[in-house]
Amino acid sequence: MSALKIANASGFYGDRLSAFQEILDGGPVDVITGDYLAELTMLILGRDKAKDPDGGYAKTFLAQMQGCLASVVERKIKVVVNAGGLNPAGLSGKLRELSVSLGVPAKIAYVHGDDLLARAEELGFGSPLTANAYLGGFGIARALAAGADIVVTGRVTDASLVVGAAAAHFNWERTDYDRIAGAMAAGHVIECGTQATGGNYAFFDRIPDMHRAGFPIAEIEADGSAVITKHPGTGGAVTVGTVTAQLVYEITGARYAGPDAILRMDSIQLAELGRDRVRLSGVRGEAPPDTLKVSLNQLGGFRNEVSFVFTGLDIEKKAELVRSQLADVVPDGTSWTLARTDHPDAETEETASAILHCVVRGPDPKRVGRAFSNLAVQIGLARYPGFHLTAPPGDAAPYGVYLPGFVAADQVPHLVDLPDGSELSIEPAPGRVPAEAALAKLPEPAVAAFLPGPTRQLPLGRIAAARSGDKGGDANIGVWVEDAAAWPWLADTLSVAALKRLLPETAELTVERHVLPNLFAVNFVIRGLLGEGVASNSRFDPQAKALGEWLRARTVEVPEEYL
């Protein structure tokens, strides 16, 4: 059976609107997927649905289908997206209306059952704004097998879009763990769109034509192996490096859990087959855990922020004056961050300036709103020399708190509404094992001994690449080298202790290291760096997207032989 060509047209809610059309224009594909959901997106959709019960889905997908539905159906291309968000039934209904209005006989199916909000208290999750379990890919597979042209889902894992399409095409069994894990790996690579074709890549200056990077394609074989590529003539590049960057992105260790299988990240082998073609093979899978992860979002209260600009001399004294003047009016839990962006003897006023960020939170929108921010201005004439703010005083805004939860897999319905109006129920994966065993940390593999020689103190990034991101309140950094000869040095040098020294913000936190020899990579999970998630924390770079670049800028002793 020939390979299944799956292109991904969306990495987040707000990705390039023309992506579907670009993929259709670029060449033949069998399936187009779209990932619209992130932890923050679920909060946004939750607030949307609270205002309008008919909302709660990614409206941009509907706009994309307005121009593409006819081509998709005519060319017999399947579309699988999680754009249904909190209302897959509502989106599928809108798609049916669109189908009728365009005169295009599209068969629509949707997957649901992930929404646990009505049972949240019963399941021990309190009273959140949203509560959604991560479903797997076999509901999607059943919908495609029943003839659906478009499958809309709620909260499934990002890789499940690809798993479902591949499982349907190749008729995989639920216990084909190696094959499923191979599709999970391919799905993880392409789920973030152009990040697999050079976007956000550490060695970005090596990527040709990033003006308009092409969207990635996974050519999946019956055994679960895949080739990652893109349409000819599109911008960006697919290399072992760009694929590695996405593989180590936002994972939690060598065992990457999904509802249908555990992907052993340490088993993946990469090989460059030619220009823009990277083979992904050797993937091993294991039985999935007996629990499903649950994404929980709740409203945390209200927040407001004022940023004070200090220019020239005595920066620390100016900051202390502001803190003392506001000490009696800011609530408990206020965070102060002084960003020393100033330079001595600077040639411009901006480069002579530092910024003090003050973030307040509380349950009362009036107290943390204008009652607070107006005070920053009202005594402006009694502040420090050169007083000014980066923005005028503003109102408080609500913020959300993200929490991960877990629920027994057999407590979550996995339902599929087929094009003919019938409904199917998908049983949880057979052979599930207790989560403690399924997710147990693997012992660090042996790495060839590093023999030190002459070194030079240089930024880590002169020899190593990195990619970082968020997992709720935790941060993740994957670091790797391209040269196999430098791998023992990286594994020896970049220990947990070294990471804490290089990134002092992590010094007091729990840090886990996972070693991935096939990828010449080490992966770190930094527990609690991001507090209660992106929507609530006031950290600079709240999603840790640039944490890896900070690490690469730190200096280490680099052996001269690798330079």
Q: Where are the domains of the chain?
A: 4-288+412-436, 298-401, 455-562
**DSSP letter assigned to residue 340:** -
CA gap 509, 355 in Å, rounded: 26
Provide the strand spans (E) within 83-171. 108-112, 130-133, 150-153
Are 276 and 238 in contact, with CB atoms under 8 Å apart?
yes
Rg for the chain, CA atoms, rounded: 25
How far CA 132 is from CA of 128, 405, 528, in Å, comes to 10, 9, 22
Query: CA 441 to CA 436: how far, in whole Å?
Result: 9
Alpha-carbon gap, residue 181 to 159, rounded angstroms: 10
Structural domain 298-401, CATH architecture: 2-Layer Sandwich (3.30)
Beta-sheet strands, E only, within 366-507: 388-389, 397-408, 415-417, 423-425, 455-459, 464-471, 474-481
- In one-letter notation, the amino acid at residue 290 is D
CA–CA distance, 4 with 108 (Å, rounded to integer): 21
* Digitized pLDDT (tens) for each residue of the chain, 563 residues in all: 789 999 999 999 999 999 999 999 999 999 999 999 988 899 899 989 989 999 999 999 999 999 999 999 999 999 999 999 999 999 999 999 999 999 999 999 999 999 999 999 999 999 999 999 999 999 999 999 999 999 999 999 999 999 999 999 999 999 999 999 999 999 999 999 999 999 999 999 999 888 889 999 999 999 999 999 999 999 999 999 999 999 999 998 999 999 999 999 999 999 999 999 999 999 999 999 999 999 999 988 999 999 999 999 999 999 999 999 998 888 888 999 999 999 999 999 999 999 999 999 999 999 899 988 888 888 888 899 999 999 998 999 988 889 899 999 999 999 999 999 999 999 999 899 999 988 899 998 988 888 888 999 999 999 999 999 998 899 999 999 999 999 999 999 999 999 999 999 999 999 999 999 999 999 999 999 998 877 677 788 989 999 999 999 999 999 998 88
Coil vs helix vs strand at 369: coil
Q: Please give the single-letter amino acid code of residue 246.
A: Q
Position 410, amino acid: D
The 8-class DSSP code of residue 439 comes to T
Burial class for 296, CB neighbours closer than 10 Å (0-12, 13-18, 19+): buried
284: how many CB neighbours lie within 10 A of its CB?
17
Q: In whole angstroms, what is the distance from residue 508 CA to residue 174 CA?
A: 42
Tell me the three state secondary structure of residue 235.
strand
As a 3-state breakdown, the chain gives helix, strand, coil percent values, each rounded to 5, of 30, 30, 40
- E strand map for 176-235: 216-220, 226-230
